[in-house]
Amino acid sequence: MSELMIESDVAAVVQAAIERHGKKHDGLIPILSEINHVFGYVSGEAFREVRKQLHDPTEQMYVAESQLYALASFYDMLSTKPRGRHVIKFCENAPCHVVGGKAIWDTLREKLNLNNGETTPDDKWTLVTTSCLGLCSVGPVLLVDDDMYGNVTPEQIPDILEHYK
């Protein structure tokens, strides 16, 4: 979608996000989240547009692009590069690992032919690890888009993936 992202589209999305969340520092993550949701990631153009629209000398509001990039690259829910239509987040934390997480990870990598952070050539899937999804009691856990799967076994992976065809 990055080729299709026209400057005015970015400006309109940023403006709408700022109107919803305000010109305050505590609105930065919701603003970036909204941009990420619309475009699938936060582009360099989006960082520049957020900085430009938030800059307000009368209120002494200034946000550096580097600050926005730091936020976007820190949080797993945000991406600074395009991702697939479906993002699989796999919990790699100890509780999931001890109940069979490695077998799930290996099966996902084999079925999708991806490593962590990679996207399939058809832009359908992106596979990423995360340190915790907060669902330790039902590990191993994975999240596909907004759908949570707990107590996952390697045998379930093909059916889970098939659900998104």
Instruction: Give, as one character, the DSSP assignment of residue 110.
Output: H
Instruction: With beta carbons less than 8 A apart as the criterion, state whether 75 and 113 touch.
Output: no
pLDDT tens readout for residues 111-125: 999 999 999 999 999
pLDDT tens readout for residues 9-29: 999 999 999 999 998 888 999
> What SS3 class is residue 2?
coil
- Paired strand residues for 149: 142
User: Position 73: which residue type?
Assistant: S
Q: What is the pLDDT of residue 3?
A: 43
- Among residues 93, 121, 88, 122, the alpha carbon closest in space to that of 107 is found at 88
pLDDT tens readout for residues 57-93: 776 678 888 999 999 988 878 999 999 999 999 988 8
Distance CA 98, CA 127 (A): 21
Which two structure tokens, joined as six digits, stand for 51? 């900085």
Whether the pTM exceeds 0.85: the reply is no
- Residue 17 falls in which region: left (phi positive, over 0), alpha (psi -120 to 50) or beta: alpha
Q: What percent of the chain has pLDDT over 90?
A: 65
Q: What is the CA radius of gyration of the chain?
A: 18
Mean pLDDT, to the nearest integer, of 41-50?
Answer: 95
What are the structural domains, with CATH classification, of the chain?
Answer: 7-74 (no CATH), 86-162 (3.40.30.10)
pLDDT above 60 for 8: no
Nearby residues of 120 by Cβ (< 8 Å), 6 or more positions away: 84, 112, 113, 114, 126
pLDDT above 60 for 34: yes
Distance CA 87, CA 79 (A): 11
> What SS3 class is residue 106?
helix
pLDDT above 60 for 139: yes
Q: What is the pLDDT of residue 94?
A: 87
pLDDT tens readout for residues 152-161: 999 999 999 9
Instruction: With beta carbons less than 8 A apart as the criterion, state whether 142 and 149 touch.
Output: yes
